[in-house]
Structure 1
Amino acid sequence: MPSKKLSPAQINDYKDNGYTVVKAFFSKREVSRLYDAARENHVMTDNTLDLNDQSGKKTRLSLWFTPGDDVFGYMTRSERMISCAAQLLGNNNPVCHFHSKLMQKEPKVGGAWEWHQDYGYWYKYQFMYPDQLLSIMVALTPANKQNGCLQLIKGSHKMGRINHGFAGEQMGADKVMVQNALKTMPLEYAELEAGDALFFHSNLLHRSEANLSDHPRWSIISCYNLQSNPAYNHEPSTSWKVPVAVVADEALLKWDATSSSNNDFLKKEDDPALKQTGWEQDATL
């Protein structure tokens, strides 16, 4: 079975709107293997970070840099992920894996994410070119308005980087610019079924509400960078400049997988994005 490719219309959506959605990017069997591994994997649980939103509710995630031979590594390194990332990032440079994160929004308690751009965080890694960074979110459970799906401001990636300051333990975009963006561009809800993939630009403004429903919202977000895009404050990892060792799409279901225990997980105290630099004071939150 040939690896999936994005259509010209999907590529244009990404360029014009800052995002595109691919339905059933992963099969039900593939999602089941990923979700079962996520729920049963004590390594992921042991390396979960809790980040408070402004209300004090916790958002939970596990973040790692180097993709390995576990099921999550097979997903991240799969030909379909890398070929589609290469289509959107362009310029013929190798695609590298910056990091992946397992997002865990539990029923009733899963916190919100404030309005932000991913580059608002990644700017502190001193990446030079936001156009050479993107994220691919794969839904492991349905995401809808009831359980706090992603909200996007369509076309906001064209604004460039907005000042960010601390909102709880998160980085939030300048409220005045967010309000201006909402007056100018449409607000969209990224409602996804399990297995759907959302591709989005590093400067796209997005947020999510707390999960107050009776159902979990879990997803994996893999973030990619072109090797031509240097990061000058790259601690604690250099995976961002190592070309991905691509595996066949069939690996996720057919190959033996190792434990996630060898993954280089992020510790909260090591994250450059969560350290004060001084310029956060310029943002109005």
Structure 2
Amino acid sequence: MEEGGDSVNLTHSDVEKYHRDGYLLVENVFTQQEVDYMLHEIEHGEKVSALTAEMSDKRGRKAKLAIWEDLTDDIWSAVSTCPRIANSVRILLGEEISFYHGKVMLKKAHEGGAWEWHQDYGYWYPSFMFPHMISAFTALDEATSENGCLKVLKGSHKLGRIDHGMLGGQLGADLERLMMVEQTLEQVEVQMKPGSVLFFHCNLLHASGPNLSDQHRRSFIVCYNALSNPCTLDQVDRNCIPVPAGSDKLF
């Protein structure tokens, strides 16, 4: 693949890898200047601070996130419609896409909570007919073992949706089923540099540990639905609208 601050060109091999493993890591999608702009908005902008909520892991530690369901005139929408992201998602899903939601994940140094093993479709299943959905996870800080980087079970998207239940304040995959899966599939720790993007299937089992390090771990995740995937609840019309053409120039 070719990647950088102005283009991401996925190859046939990249698409095959995504469908085989359930995820694809692309380095250097965003420049450090673009990452710094997003971090500035987290630290000084109103949107993230106004929408941030806490969700406890099963040990009571707090994982924080801010989530929204609209595209507006801000850096987050510019990233969500940027061809480097949106066109890659179109290629991986094989069709036109709609914007589902964006979210900033915040794991503060020394105190950020874990995210339990889950599938995103475990959360989204009530709203959409098929698991034709994908997330694009952009690292804004270096993601390491020490600060609670993402862990995935390779190929677990092929299991289909697993039953989920409450673990602390989060939904988590059925623990008995998860134990069997963990004995069968390879666990991969996804360490990432700022500006890299992990594209992953909505049925991929993933989790992350707490952040007990001296370094923050912040990320921006955009979630998309295949345009042909019917909503099963009374959803806003935006789920039937293609992602608008964005620009590679974010600001």
Deviation at 1:240, TM superposition (A): 2.5
Residue 245 of structure 2 corresponds to: 246
Residue 108 of structure 2 corresponds to: 106
Name stretches of at least 5 consecutive residues in structure 1 with no aligned partner: 254-285
Question: Deviation digits for residues 233-260 of structure 1, max 9, x if unmatched?
Answer: 245x44322211121111x13xxxxxxx
CA–CA distance in structure 2, aligned partners of residues 49 and 122 of structure 1 = 19
Deviation at 1:2, TM superposition (A): 6.1
**Which of 21, 24, 29 is matched with 1:25 structurally?**
29
Q: Which moved more, 1:78-87 or 1:226-235?
A: 226-235
Divergent runs of 4+, >2 A: 237-241
Query: Letter of the aligned partner of 1:110 in structure 2?
Result: G
- Greater share of residues in helix: 1
CA–CA distance in structure 2, aligned partners of residues 234 and 10 of structure 1 = 35
Deviation at 1:3, TM superposition (A): 3.3
- Greater share of residues in strand: 2
Residue 78 of structure 2 corresponds to: 74
Indicate conservation of the 8 Å contact 1:163/1:174, yes or no.
yes
Residue 158 of structure 2 corresponds to: 158
Tell me the percent identity. Answer: 38
Residue 122 of structure 2 corresponds to: 120
Aligned residues: 247
What secondary structure, in the 3-state scheme, does the structure 1 residue paired with 2:73 have? coil
What secondary structure, in the 3-state scheme, does the structure 1 residue paired with 2:35 have? helix
**Which of 52, 55, 78 is matched with 2:56 structurally?**
52
TM (normalized to structure 1)? 0.84
Question: Deviation digits for residues 31-58 of structure 1, max 9, x if unmatched?
Answer: 1111111111133112111111111111
Question: Deviation digits for residues 188-207 of structure 1, max 9, x if unmatched?
Answer: 00100000000000000000
Residue 182 of structure 2 corresponds to: 182
Query: Letter of the aligned partner of 1:30 in structure 2?
Result: E
Name stretches of at least 5 consecutive residues in structure 2 with no aligned partner: none
TM (normalized to structure 2)? 0.95
Matches within 5 A, 1:1-285: 3-90=7-94, 92=95, 94-125=96-127, 127-130=128-131, 132-235=132-235, 237-250=236-249, 252-253=250-251
Deviation at 1:218, TM superposition (A): 0.2
